[in-house]
Amino acid sequence: MRISELSRASGVSIATIKYYLREGLLPPGETTARNQADYSDEHLWRLRFVRVLREVGGLGIESIRAVLVAVNDDQRSLHEVLGVAHHALSPASPSGEEFPEMDEVDTLLRRLGWKVSPAAPDRWALAETLAALRRLGRDVDATTFLPHAQAVEQLAAVEVSSLDPSAGRAQAVEQAIVGTVVYEAALVALRRLAHEHHSALQASNSQRTADR
Amino acid sequence: MRISELSRASGVSIATIKYYLREGLLPPGETTARNQADYSDEHLWRLRFVRVLREVGGLGIESIRAVLVAVNDDQRSLHEVLGVAHHALSPASPSGEEFPEMDEVDTLLRRLGWKVSPAAPDRWALAETLAALRRLGRDVDATTFLPHAQAVEQLAAVEVSSLDPSAGRAQAVEQAIVGTVVYEAALVALRRLAHEHHSALQASNSQRTADR
């Protein structure tokens, strides 16, 4: 298909497609004539993937490039590629610094029976949240996250088992990454909606008490 | 206390404190002598709050300002202020555009019995995730998010009820926002760790099958 058809089918503007081509996020089409190139379904599919990473995952160009390089690297296992994607998606790269809360997070992970890489950026991220709660004067330890851990474990088990094992490697990787990005965005949105609902409930309950 | 003590106690550098003062994120201290000002516990507490919004919530200066303005506005209910905070925390502002998935999201919310504002940015965000899944060729409807909704509803109920109702208004608002920011970051980190664990489990299971 021509670039105009690729644009229509993907919902990505021609200017943006040209930008992705320049940046190497999209491989060049097959040249069919001077100033004309032909694009395949592979291009369409790749473009949709980049769009999800950008719009739903909020990733910048550099992070998208890192994910694509990992997806294309056959030497890496699905498991490793997911690690790269999680790293790219993490709001801040971990400093690598060890702080007291790390030990408590590791104790929590052992208690849950979760096997995770010591280099997982989310180990740091979780320790950071615990440290933040304490800096704000809350008297908490890592077990405060236990209900959250149990809730997400069930969801993760369902999500991982829904991946199609017969899919090709590239597709399996992308399935997993898209699932991570999209279901994570959905989970965060739902959590805020649930909060709005419960804070409204609580406000109307205390109003009713005050009216008596 | 002097600015150097405020810096030590908060873990925020003097240069950054001066930047926040210039930007109006921190009210000026009381002038005690030429070029010297005295800062109170209120300053220390505010500084810690800004630090959490920045480091854990990943908010930029403009978004932090919007949250602080809402917190200081006595005309706004706790519930409204939380809405402002959720809006500031949303990765992208909703376009205001209505698209087909919005109706499905509303049906899901009714089914759950959640009362949320039609203007809640997360209504759009959730519809966006559903649209993204479909663009990627997944045959899904809004009920795919039902297990996620039920999981976060339990967590939100626990989190909202743990807020101290006897706290002053400013403190209640900040408790709620900090809870939103920090527990959300923790939930996302835990979800990724759970995914890592389950994808490792699945990889070792299929390896074992292949070895037979």
Of A128, A176, A184, the CB nearest to B191: A184
Q: Mean of the pLDDT values across residues B24-49?
A: 89
Check residue A207 and give its pLDDT. 60
Q: What angle do CA B12, B18, B21 make, to 5 degrees?
A: 105
CB contacts of B176 in chain A (<8 Å) are: 199
Residues 57-116 (B) with a CB less than 8 A from some CB of A:
58, 77-79, 82-83, 86, 89, 91-92, 109, 114-116
Q: Are the beta carbons of B184 and A191 separated by less than 8 Å?
A: yes
Q: Pick from B193, B197, B202, B206 the residue to mutate for testing the A interface (most A CBs within 10 Å).
A: B193
Q: Mean of the pLDDT values across residues A54-60?
A: 79
Find how far residue A51's CA is from the centre of its chain.
13
Check residue B21 and give its pLDDT. 94
Report whether pLDDT(B92) > 60. no
Q: Are the beta carbons of B192 and A120 separated by less than 8 Å?
A: yes
Q: Where does the pLDDT of residue A206 fall: very low under 50, low under 70, confident under 90, or very high at 90 and above?
A: low
Report whether pLDDT(B41) > 60. yes
Check residue A210 and give its pLDDT. 58
Q: Are the beta carbons of B156 and A198 separated by less than 8 Å?
A: yes
User: Tens digits of per-residue pLDDT, B130-177?
Assistant: 988 887 778 889 998 998 999 899 888 887 777 666 666 667 767 777
Least confident of A84-88, A93-97, B147-151: A93-97
Q: Pick from B63, B166, B195 the residue to mutate for testing the A interface (most A CBs within 10 Å).
A: B195
Check residue B96 and give its pLDDT. 58
Those residues with Cβ within 8 angstroms of residue A83's Cβ, 6 or more apart along the chain or in another chain = A117, A119, A120, B196
b/e for B93-120, b at 16 or more Cβ within 10 A?
ebeeeeeebbebbeebbeebebebeeeb
Q: Are the beta carbons of A147 and B158 separated by less than 8 Å?
A: yes
Alpha carbons B22 and A46: distance in angstroms, whole number: 45
Report the predicted TM-score, pTM, of the whole model to 2 decimal places: 0.75
Contact of A154 with chain B, judged by CB distance below 8 Å, is answered with yes
Q: What chain A residue is nearest to B161 in terms of C-alpha separation?
A: A202
What single letter denotes the amino acid at residue B209?
A: T
Higher pLDDT, A27 or A137: A27
User: Tens digits of per-residue pLDDT, B167-207?
Assistant: 666 677 677 777 777 888 888 889 888 888 887 777 666 66
Distance from CA of B25 to the nearest CA of A (A): 18
Q: Mean of the pLDDT values across residues A100-112?
A: 92
Q: Mean of the pLDDT values across residues A167-186?
A: 75
Q: Mean of the pLDDT values across residues B59-63?
A: 85
Q: What chain A residue is nearest to B182 in terms of C-alpha separation?
A: A129
Alpha carbons A4 and B152: distance in angstroms, whole number: 42
Of B89, B122, B194, the CB nearest to A114: B194
| Mean of per-residue pLDDT scores for chain A | 82
Alpha carbons A132 and A130: distance in angstroms, whole number: 5
Report whether pLDDT(B13) > 90. yes
Check residue B2 and give its pLDDT. 93
Q: Are the beta carbons of A136 and B49 separated by less than 8 Å?
A: yes
Distance from CA of B198 to the nearest CA of A (A): 6
Alpha carbons A201 and A72: distance in angstroms, whole number: 49
Please report which residue ranges of chain A form alpha helices under DSSP H.
Answer: 3-10, 14-23, 41-55, 61-72, 78-89, 100-112, 121-135, 146-161, 169-211
Check residue A51 and give its pLDDT. 86
Distance from CA of A30 to the nearest CA of B (A): 24
